[in-house]
Amino acid sequence: MSEWGIALIAAGSALAGSLITGWFTRSAGSRQADAARHAGDRQADALLDTVRRTLEEQRAVRMMDLRRQTYVQFLEAAETVMSAQRTGEGQASDRSALQRAFGCVLLEGPGEVVRTARELVNVVRASRSLDDLERAKGNFITAAQDALGLSERVSL
């Protein structure tokens, strides 16, 4: 075989080897790119899930804070009317403030808190005994604490 023949065979072998190596490299690169894309998709899904959970938790905290503020306003209005009944000193607007605060409790709920708030309003309106007022107030506080998920309760 002549030198040209050997050179052509060597060049053809090198070319074939390069093509085969390139083909396998391309296939491996494609698999790595797919794996990286899937890993990125999973990472993005995990991030979105974390953001979604964080937003839901923040929403729940805001709702609980609004409920707590509503319950506090109702309790303050009830205390004002109860104090006026005990001392004989009060204003005509105290009962209307209690009714407005009760309306807010109606909107916030839940049902057990609304029921105990209604009971407290009825006891206050009927000018019942101090024991009845304190019992109704205690029932409302317990229901409000349950609705707010408070584990430690302060008893009266």
> Does residue 76 sit within a domain?
yes
The total number of structural domains in the chain stands at 1
> Does residue 112 sit within a domain?
yes
3-class state of residue 145 by DSSP: helix
What is the number of other CB atoms lying within 10 angstroms of the CB of residue 2?
7
> Does residue 127 sit within a domain?
yes
- Alpha-carbon distances of 40 from 30, 35, 43, 46, 66, rounded to whole Å: 15, 8, 5, 10, 39
> Does residue 75 sit within a domain?
yes
Predicted TM-score of the model (pTM)? 0.65
| Residues with Cβ within 8 Å of residue 9, at least 6 apart in sequence | none
In this predicted model, what pLDDT tens digit does every residue of 124-153 receive, in sequence order? Answer: 888 777 788 889 999 999 999 999 887 665
In this predicted model, what pLDDT tens digit does every residue of 60-72 receive, in sequence order? Answer: 888 889 999 999 9
- Alpha-carbon distances of 62 from 8, 28, 149, rounded to whole Å: 79, 51, 14
> Does residue 156 sit within a domain?
no
> Does residue 154 sit within a domain?
no
> Does residue 47 sit within a domain?
yes
Give the domain extent around 8.
3-148
| Residues with Cβ within 8 Å of residue 141, at least 6 apart in sequence | 75, 154, 156
> Does residue 67 sit within a domain?
yes
